[in-house]
Structure 1
Amino acid sequence: MSELTPELTLIVASKNYSSWSLRPYLALAHTGQPFREVMVPLDEPDTAAKIAQHSPSGRLPALRHGAISIWDSLAICEYLAETFPQARLWPQDKEARAVARSVVAEMHSGFSNLRQNMTMDIRARKPGKGRAPGVAEDIARIQALWNECRTRFGQGGPFLFGHFTIADAFYAPVVSRFVTYEVELDAVSRSYRDAVLELPALKTWTEAALKEPPVKRYQ
């Protein structure tokens, strides 16, 4: 990249397990901007030290853009939307954008039962597992959100708001979980799941995840 275009570097954790890292990766890939990627394997003796080199919070993902450093997946996505408006990472319509931000915030801070009991594990297949109390309610709420967004705002394409947005980046790890745990979905949710699975960036991420060595703590 030229001196006038600072290099983008995205630092992520192990791809098979890191739902937080997947979200900004998909958003950044969607901008079409070239970027460098650094992957820090989880559960290694030097993992914490390596993460500390990139993130003051001690967590990943993190993004460097020239002298700017951003950590937290939502903060990174917001920065990308602001820096590369041509990517349309938020809907242009005010109402749709408000709903998109709401569903992203709900994903960012909610669905704790699903997160804890259906952890992301791209290479695994665990049918019937993870059905702890509260998980069914989280799954039902997610499907209700998907149905509402597709019905109200999805006429322009296969994603929640028609074209790809940050909302899709945030729910892509849920799509992965639903595949891993073979969650039965309604027709609208199945169609949306399949559209997300066809994202070229998600396929690239998945191919890399399948080549990673397993992390013992997550087995």
Structure 2
Amino acid sequence: MEAMGVDNCRIVITNEDAKDSEVEVPIFDGSAGKWVDAIEEIGLKLAIDQCGNFCEKMAPHVNQPVHVWRNDCFLIAFPATEVRITYGIDFPQVPEIGCQWFFTAPLDNKFYAEQIAPSRTFCIYEEVGVEQMRNMGLIKGGSMENALVCSVSKGWINPPLRFHDEPCRHKVLDLIGDLSLFAQLGSQGIPLAHLVVYKGGHAMHANFLRRLLERI
């Protein structure tokens, strides 16, 4: 929703076969593609108040570099006039993935829908404690149909990939989703900045958001 310009909505998730505490957002194929398709099919409508007025959408600006890091992993935001993202990942223990970089130029609805949204989540076969995670109540909907699985020795277990650098693109998808948490009162969550990330993840993205909140 953040990437497609939706800033005013109500989300209702129901499942007649599950208890309220067990209802989770559908993962579909592990990408954001179906969500984008649904938004594009229905379209957007300008939200107005009871007086017929609408609020201009604001976007946060980065006026000076902001960064977070841990060991050799980092996320830096540089001042810019439009949103750009440069993201790098490195899995030296998994040759089929290795080191990948992806760059948005710039980020807009069309680029997101075509180049980022279709990328699926992925995992390393030897590192996944599936049973342990499910015992914790996680990834209940996870399967080979909604995640790319790569083996250290055997490569991709369930190809084909939609992009040669699909894992890196999905990390960009994750970043955009995490940055949407910065959105307030209908304003844009993604800051106008050039975001450069290397070996990031949800925890680092969250730390970056906390750093941004400290600057407000």
- Output the TM-score relative to the length of structure 1: 0.30
| Greater relative contact order (Cα < 8 A, sep 6+) | 2
Q: Which has the higher helix share?
A: 1
Q: Which has the higher strand share?
A: 2
* The structure with more radius of gyration: 2
- Output the TM-score relative to the length of structure 2: 0.30
